[in-house]
Amino acid sequence: MDRLTVGDATCIRIEEMIDTSFTAAGFFPAFDAERLRPHLPWLAPQHYIAERGALVLSMHSWVVRTGRHTVLIDACIGNDKDRLPREHWHRMNTPFLQRLRAAGAAPEDVDYVMCTHLHADHVGWNTVLEDGRWVPTFPRARYLFSRIEYEHCLAHPDPSPIRRNAFADSVLPIVEAGRAEMIEDGHAVDGTLTVELAPGHTPGNAQIRLASRGSEAVFAGDTIHHPFQVYHPDWSTVACFDPAASAASRRRLLELCCERGALLLPAHFAAPHGGRVRAAGQGFELSWLA
């Protein structure tokens, strides 16, 4: 599922890479193999590598054409970035921009970049290296950052070198270039895309709701990382700033998708990358899109 329509909007998924470096036991502090076991028939091998206990995570962006504007949602890891000690993210050289152009969205065509939060795997392609300087990749775009998120990052430098470097090379240059717009909960683009704060993974974490002609989708960013969390939304990750708030936001997201019949389109689900959420007893289940 790399292209779909939601009402009058066209959504195109642009993949950067597949990451299988995170183990379920290391990524989810609440990991319980017995709770995972009943789901293995559908999880493995597409979403979980059983012999290594590894999660399969896709790193991708979504391009949304609203009819008036071209919007990039989340900006992956990026090329040439200092991301040690995560070696497989360090100074990457991927054809992400070529894939973007092949999808009909050259950098100069993008009107808005909407980052659900400011972690390294969501802001990297905000900038490219040019003559030794980090400059905006999308020269005409306005970059929309959650004000809460940005101000928290300024006031509380992250202990992770990866996140500190990402803020320095992929966020601050956008602000310095005058291309950033600090936004609040409910900010809308074209009356079609609406920012909904979903704090927990980060203080200003957001998801982006697309509504067009009676159809809806939610670009969930990292409110949810892995399809198993649909069935166990209480499982927050080691990367969550506030695990309890993250779990509460995730449950609200799943309830929202059920109530509105909205497609769930997260930032890291492996193929087929999204689906519809249904209530199931006291929880939820996922029906994948073909």
> Parallel, antiparallel, or unpaired: how do β-strands 283-288 and 275-280 relate?
antiparallel
Q: For the chain, which residues score pLDDT lower than 50?
A: none
150 φ/ψ angles, rounded to the nearest 5 degrees: -65, -45
CATH code that applies to domain 3-288: 3.60.15.10
- pTM of the complete model beyond 0.85: yes
- pLDDT at position 30, please? 95
| pLDDT tens digits along 13-52 | 999 999 999 999 999 999 999 999 999 999 999 999 999 9
- pLDDT at position 204, please? 97
- pLDDT at position 1, please? 57
CA distance 98 to 14: 10
| pLDDT tens digits along 133-149 | 999 999 999 999 999 99
- Could you tell me the residue ranges of all domains in the chain? 3-288
CA distance 56 to 51: 13
